[in-house]
Amino acid sequence: MKFAIIGNTFQPKKCVQTAQLFNILRKKGAEIAVCKDFYEFLVRDLKMDIHADELFENRDFDADMVLSMGGDGTFLKTANRVGDKNIPILGINTGRLGFLADISPDEIEKAIDEIYTGKYRIENHCVLQLICNDERLQVNPFALNEIAVLKRDISSMITIYATVKGSYLNTYQADGLIIATPTGSTAYSLSVGGPIIVPNSQTIVITPVAPHSLNIRPIVICDDWEVTLDIESRNHNFLVAIDGRSESCKEGTKLTIRKANYSTKVVKRSSHTLFDTLRSKMMWGADNRNEK
């Protein structure tokens, strides 16, 4: 098998597991391609004695599987690099929470063994695409987690006119609005009161950020419905964040959000479920009354 490795270059103390990964892959006879900046970070800065069969930059690579070494932020960047290549991604967590990158360092060898024996599954995760006339936002318009519209610079709320599938939905007076995939439902959307949505449910959620109304709630819609947003702001601009990559946008810019024509393939161990991750990583349903 050929593996492409993409990693976080900002956490030196958390990259020691990378050498272990290289050794495991070498024992399997795997072909290893490594992102150039990550490889140089490991060899030059961390003085690791590792060898790669191939180095690549940007999206100029191919492999049977991509390994993302880092946290969830690294996983999102990896998914963006993979794009529509249709290559499955395994996330190895050397960050903090590790919800997307849910393979812990002590599970690396077992996870690689399971890959070679076919004991894993692949989940197809919906990707969102932003369409607008702002060229800066069209350079990289795809999001695995969410696309958010947010107020900028001032304390005043923004006004967001939202239509879904061509029909008027609502006018939001709020600090912002989040359009999230099931993958992103456990990220920013969850932190402002959005629901948890299971993967492959073919839905997306529209979640307001600090709405100035008690009767405005998140709404779940079909993922093949287009969402169109028109924004008004007192200072005539606002922020658009695509998986955390934010750009200032001028008032009057119409935003259309729809499902991309590809999905991100996420590798999961057969023994792992979403509910296990919710309980272990987010303390979902935890009740200290049951503790003795």
Residues 70 and 26 in one domain: yes
pLDDT at 287: 73
Instruction: Report residues of the chain scoring pLDDT below 70.
Output: 11-15, 97, 290-292
For residues 23 and 148, state if they share a domain.
no
Q: In one letter, which amino acid is 150?
A: L
Six-digit token pair at 237? 């601009």
CATH number at residue 135: 2.60.200.30
Does residue 7 sit in the same domain as residue 103?
yes
The confidence score (pLDDT) of residue 8 equals 85
Cβ atoms of 267 and 120 within 8 Å: the answer is yes
Q: Are residues 33 and 157 in the same domain?
A: no
Q: For residue 255, list its beta bridge partners.
A: 229
What six digits make up the tokens of 31? Answer: 């072909």
- Based on the domain organization, do 192 and 131 belong to the same domain? yes
Which residues form the domain of 241? 127-261
Q: Is 34 left (phi over 0), alpha (psi -120 to 50) or beta?
A: beta
Residues 279 and 213 in one domain: no
* β-sheet bridge partners, residue 125: 264
Q: What is the pLDDT of residue 17?
A: 80
In this structure, what CATH number is given to the domain that contains residue 86? Answer: 3.40.50.10330
Q: Are residues 132 and 257 in the same domain?
A: yes
pLDDT for the residue 292: 53
The predicted pLDDT at position 19 comes to 86
Domains contained in the chain, number: 2
pTM of the model: 0.91
Whether residue 8 sits in one domain with residue 106:
yes
The pLDDT of residue 162 is: 98
Which entry of 45, 62, 72, 224 is annotated as an active-site residue? 72
Other C-beta atoms lying within 10 Å of the C-beta of residue 82: 23
pLDDT at 14: 61
Q: Looking at residue 12, what is its pLDDT?
A: 65
Considering the domain architecture, whether residues 31 and 101 belong to the same structural domain is answered as yes
Confirm whether 60 is a catalytic residue: no
